Amino acid sequence: MMISQKMADAINEQIKNEFYSGWLYLAMAFKADEMSLKVFAEWFRQQEAEERAHAMKMCDYLSDQGAEVALSALDQPTFDGSSIGAMIDETVKHEIFITDCISKLVDVAKSENDNATFNFLQWYVEEQVEEVASVTELADLVKLAGPNQLLMLENRMKETIAQRASEPSA
Ligand SMILES: [Fe+2]
Ligand SMILES: [Fe+2]
């Protein structure tokens, strides 16, 4: 194994967090479906696919470094699903939490003098800046739209979704 056990354990913990993020967004996708907000549902499904890709990228990294990928049980997703606004706010909160997790992971890489992992994690550092910015913007738009203009907002979101779908996977 080319990385320390401490580093491998920390990455395995983050793999769980990334899969959990996907699990959370999938649960939110079905909630949005229940509310007949099909475009929001699609947006959450896209988020789920991205989170799974984030997790898989870490799995592949551990594997490349000769470390064990230790998958564990995922918690049941818990969130306020009372409205689409509440769910998007939960998404912002969750992405800020994940940003903090990545930051702590970078600290471990530094303390282990692990340049390869430090370098690998920079992709996630950048990705989190993008994620927090885009979900915060969406949270603002939901507030601006209010309950009566959610369908108009969904129309606007269709373009972003199509664009993301055409990008090579994260
Ligand atoms: Fe992620
Ligand atoms: Fe994310």
pLDDT of residue 167: 86
Task: Provide the number of structural domains found in the chain.
Answer: 1
* pLDDT tens column, 95-115: 999 999 999 999 999 999 999
Q: Is the pLDDT of residue 169 over 70?
A: no
What is the C-alpha separation between 75 and 82, in angstroms, rounded?
20
Closest-lying ligand to the alpha carbon of 55?
A: 1
Closest-lying ligand to the alpha carbon of 96?
A: 2
CA of 152 relative to ligand 1 center, distance in Å: 28
pLDDT of residue 11: 98
Q: What number is the average pLDDT over the span 142-157? A: 95
Q: What number is the average pLDDT over the span 129-156? A: 96
Domain residues for the domain of 81 are: 5-166
Q: Is the pLDDT of residue 170 over 70?
A: no
What is the C-alpha separation between 9 and 36, in angstroms, rounded?
41
What amino acid occupies position 104?
K
Closest-lying ligand to the alpha carbon of 16?
A: 1
CA of 143 relative to ligand 2 center, distance in Å: 21
Is 7 in contact with 108 (CB distance < 8 Å)? yes
Q: Is the pLDDT of residue 59 over 70?
A: yes
Which residues crowd ion ligand 1, with CB under 5 Å?
Answer: 18, 51, 54
Q: Is the pLDDT of residue 130 over 60?
A: yes
The CATH number linked to 23 is 1.20.1260.10
Mean pLDDT of the chain, nearest integer? 97
pLDDT > 90 fraction of the chain, expressed in percent and rounded: 96
Find the DSSP H helices in 5-37.
5-34
